Copies of this chain bind each other. A is one copy, B any other.
Amino acid sequence: MKKVAIGIDVGGTNTAIGVVDQDGQVMVKNSIPTPSHGDIDRYINDLTNAVNELIHSVKLVNADLEVLGIGIGAPNGNYYNGTIEYAPNLSFKGVVHFVELLRKNYPTMKALALTNDANAAAIGEMIYGGAKHMKNFVMYTLGTGVGSGVVVNGDLVYGHDGFAGECGHTTLIPGGRLCGCGAKGHLEAYCSAPGMKRTAFEIMVRDNAVDSLLANKSFKELDSKAIYDAAVHGDKVALEVFEQTGKWLGQGLADTVHHLSPEAIFLFGGPTAAGEFIFKPTRESMEAHLLPIFKNKIKILPSELKPGDAAIVGASALVWKEIEK
Residues of A within 8 A of B (CB): 76, 85-86, 135-136, 150, 152-153, 155, 157-167, 169-174, 181, 183, 251, 254-256, 258-263, 289, 291-294, 297-298
- The distance in angstroms between the C-alpha atoms of A285 and B4, with both chains bound, is 47
Please give me the residue from chain B that is nearest to A157 by CB atom. Answer: B152
Contacts A85-B293, A161-B297, A173-B174 given; indicate if A167 touches B258 (C-beta within 8 A).
yes
Which residues does chain B contribute within 8 Å of A181, judged by CB atoms?
Answer: 291-292
Pairwise interchain contact B259-A163, C-beta atoms closer than 8 A: no
Please give me the residue from chain B that is nearest to A171 by CB atom. Answer: B251
Which residues does chain B contribute within 8 Å of A150, judged by CB atoms?
Answer: 259-260
- The distance in angstroms between the C-alpha atoms of A62 and B169, with both chains bound, is 55
Of the candidates B183, B256, B291, B292, the one whose C-beta lies within 8 Å of that of A259 is B256
Which residues does chain B contribute within 8 Å of A167, judged by CB atoms?
Answer: 258-259
Pairwise interchain contact A164-B263, C-beta atoms closer than 8 A: no
- The distance in angstroms between the C-alpha atoms of A174 and B260, with both chains bound, is 20
- The distance in angstroms between the C-alpha atoms of A43 and B157, with both chains bound, is 40
Pairwise interchain contact B169-A86, C-beta atoms closer than 8 A: no
Oligomer copy total: 2
Which 9 A-B pairs give the minimum distances between C-beta atoms?
A159-B261, A164-B261, A160-B263, A170-B255, A166-B258, A136-B160, A169-B258, A259-B259, A163-B261
Pairwise interchain contact A172-B169, C-beta atoms closer than 8 A: no
- The distance in angstroms between the C-alpha atoms of A259 and B138, with both chains bound, is 10
Which residues does chain B contribute within 8 Å of A298, judged by CB atoms?
Answer: 160
Which residues does chain B contribute within 8 Å of A289, judged by CB atoms?
Answer: 171, 183
Cβ contacts A to B, 10 pairs, < 8 Å = A76-B293, A136-B160, A150-B259, A152-B157, A153-B157, A158-B261, A159-B261, A159-B262, A163-B261, A171-B255
Please give me the residue from chain B that is nearest to A247 by CB atom. Answer: B174
Which residues does chain B contribute within 8 Å of A291, judged by CB atoms?
Answer: 166, 169, 181, 183
Please give me the residue from chain B that is nearest to A159 by CB atom. Answer: B261
Nearest CB of chain B from residue A4's CB, rounded to whole Å: 29
Nearest CB of chain B from residue A280's CB, rounded to whole Å: 20
Which residues does chain B contribute within 8 Å of A172, judged by CB atoms?
Answer: 174
- The distance in angstroms between the C-alpha atoms of A298 and B161, with both chains bound, is 10
Which residues does chain B contribute within 8 Å of A157, judged by CB atoms?
Answer: 152-153, 260-261
Pairwise interchain contact B164-A135, C-beta atoms closer than 8 A: no
- The distance in angstroms between the C-alpha atoms of A183 and B254, with both chains bound, is 12
5 additional A-B residue pairs with CB within 8 Å, beyond A162-B261, A169-B291, A170-B258:
A136-B160, A153-B155, A160-B261, A171-B289, A259-B259
- The distance in angstroms between the C-alpha atoms of A166 and B159, with both chains bound, is 19
Pairwise interchain contact A292-B258, C-beta atoms closer than 8 A: no
- The distance in angstroms between the C-alpha atoms of A163 and B295, with both chains bound, is 12
Candidate in A163, A172, A259, A294 with the most chain B CB atoms within 10 angstroms: A259
- The distance in angstroms between the C-alpha atoms of A171 and B294, with both chains bound, is 15
Please give me the residue from chain B that is nearest to A288 by CB atom. Answer: B183
Pairwise interchain contact B293-A163, C-beta atoms closer than 8 A: yes
